Amino acid sequence: PGEGTDMIGPDERLAHVEVCKPEICSLDCGTLNFGLSDNLIYISTLPILKRMAELTQKWGVKPELEVFDLGHIRLAKELIKEGLINEPPMFQICLGIPWGADQSADTMKAMKDHLPENAHWSGFGISRMQIPMAAAAVTLGGNVRVGLEDSLWDGPGNLARKNADQVKKVRQILEGLSLDIASPKEAREILSLKGGDDVSF
């Protein structure tokens, strides 16, 4: 943080992670212009990311490497190369955030093609593109992410009451594509997570 600003550093950004020790926490891998009309910038420089990666590694929390553009993938690969991210890495392709990569199957494929070969990944789109981008992710060999952080809806004109509503909807789509659904236990094994309560939808 620069002198005189209210920007917080990496340790304070992750203070809640140190206290809660979740299985996974987000690590946004790059700086991004943000917002449709405001002068907002999310700042995440290489030194900030290195420190945050060091902390999550020390605490045994798996970082979800959130990438909003191709350059973010390059930055994440540098963290992996330096041994700051345990293998196998876990990526989240984030589409439709102003002003990151656009939400389309072509964009998702381009970003997926730049991930490390051993990476686990999922992808999402925001608002009305949440479910179409979930379908695109699985057809490209990835996993899905849905939830109220990305969209308040679970269908046209239908407000979702909770995350579980969207999970159930996307599960129906995946089963319609004849895809297997991992149980929480299986997902933890696949992603090399430390474990927790087994809740199914």
Q: What does the pLDDT read at residue 152?
A: 92
In the numeric block, the tokens 């392709």 are attached to 93
Number of Cβ atoms within 10 Å of the Cβ of 104? 16
Element (H, E) at 193: none
Q: pLDDT tens for the chain, 201 residues: list them.
A: 677 888 889 999 999 999 999 999 999 999 999 878 778 888 999 999 999 999 999 999 999 999 999 999 999 999 999 999 999 999 999 999 989 999 999 999 999 999 999 999 999 999 989 999 999 999 999 999 999 999 998 888 888 899 999 999 999 999 999 998 999 999 999 998 886 555 554
Q: What does the pLDDT read at residue 197?
A: 56
Contact criterion met (CB below 8 Å) for 120 and 89: yes
Determine the 3-state secondary structure of 97 from DSSP.
coil
Q: Which strands form 62-67's sheet, in the order they lie side by side?
A: 24-28, 62-67, 90-95, 120-125, 143-144
Q: What is the DSSP letter of 192?
A: T
In the numeric block, the tokens 């809660």 are attached to 20
